[in-house]
Amino acid sequence: MSSDFPAYAPSEEHELLRQTIRELAETKIAPHAAEVDENARFPQEALDALVANDLHAVHIPEAYGGNGADALATVIVIEEVARACASSSLIPAVNKLGTVPVLLSGGEELKKKYLAPVARGEAMFSYALSEAEAGSDAAGMKTRAVRDGDHWVLNGAKMWITNAGVSEYYTVMAVTDPGKGARGISAFVVEKSDPGVSFGPKERKLGIKGSPTRQVILEDVRIPADRIIGAEGTGFKTALATLDHTRITIAAQALGIAQGALDYAIGYVKERKQFGKPIGDFQGVQFMIADMAMRLEGARQLTYHAAIKSERAFHGETVPDLTFVSSACKCLASDVAMDVTTDAVQLLGGYGYTQDFPVERMMRDAKICQIYEGTNQIQRVVMARQILK
């Protein structure tokens, strides 16, 4: 094991980063969270604040103008933003999701061209894998890319694309050799401004309403051949390798949502009085709070552990259990977030069920963490295969 990275304990620098991002989130992001949710609008204030403080894409290496922050630092940023506003946390999270395929498999010129604008805050980067008939079975995608001289021509429609229409760049998976199944899929960078690119209407969602989710529609989109990410036919392999790293960011988002709900519930039970004393004095309430905090801390430790393994893998180490721990932390943290936010609503009683208090929003936001980047049922399939192989 390399001595360059800690086991999984955050360093002093990590904790200073947490203080910085928490203060920023509480002052610049949290005040807009309820209105962003209510009006289902993009949290521009959050993007502006994150870019102004160089916290919108901290994972991008210094070689491409980024901070070069490690995976644990990225987790902490996403966690702290999600504690204030889950929709806003998808800015750093999806910037990582969209760029990791380029970081893992892209050529040097592609990295320089597309990572630098993201690092400068001039563009965001989304990830387009799923389709209407290709969700958990992502290899069943129908989007095609056909070589035409020095170009590729893409046709198809990608579904459930986070921050679609706002992001300038998209990592798009498309079939280049229909006879080869998953080995016939390649990855490409598509730009929002490419002729033939359009977007479907915004999905009307239960939660994360401030982050637009739309189809990305590709109609005879002609792109230069050098926009392929890695070798032809390696796209699906890149997609799976990407998810090993980015499931951890969804775990981070889930941790933040749960922490926000727990913090609010603790404050409430200390103040709310019934039968002449704060309800936090009642043992039944104390047991609920204890269970919420215990399970959240367990999920956090697993997520931080996975983040350190992700960092090692990015530095070229062989990490045989990365797939297992990344699936495990995503699955555990999102299940915990759903339970913690539901309990927070319960602790607030009738108030918890109203939009005057933030925990109902947090409960709605938590649900998606059990679904996207692989449902938790698929995570259990992935984990079982890793254990049994």
The residues annotated with a catalytic role in the active site are 373
Q: How far is residue 285's CA from residue 288's CA, in Å, rounded to a whole number? A: 5
Q: Please tell me the total number of residues recorded for the chain in this structure.
A: 389
Q: Is 273 helix (H, G, I), strand (E, B) or coil?
A: strand
- Give the ranges where 272-375 is alpha helix by DSSP (H): 283-314, 322-347, 359-369
The rounded Cα 194 to chain-centroid distance in angstroms is: 25
**Quick count: other Cβ atoms within 10 Å of Cβ 49?**
21
Question: Which three-class secondary structure string do you get for 129-174?
Answer: CCECCECCCHHHCCCEEEEECCEEEEEEEEEEEECCCCCCEEEEEE
Q: How far is residue 316's CA from residue 321's CA, in Å, rounded to a whole number? A: 14
Question: CB under 8 Å, gap of 24 or more: what pairs does 115-119 form?
Answer: 115/60, 115/61, 115/64, 115/65, 115/66, 116/64, 116/65, 117/168, 117/169, 118/57, 118/60, 118/66, 118/169, 119/57, 119/60, 119/64, 119/65, 119/66, 119/67
Residue 172 structure tokens: 């798009």
CA angle 362, 334, 189 (to 5 degrees): 95
**Quick count: other Cβ atoms within 10 Å of Cβ 324?**
20
Say which residue the tokens 């160089």 belong to. Answer: 54
Q: How far is CA 125 from CA 173, 219, 350, in A?
A: 14, 20, 40
Residues 154, 188: contact at Cβ < 8 Å?
yes
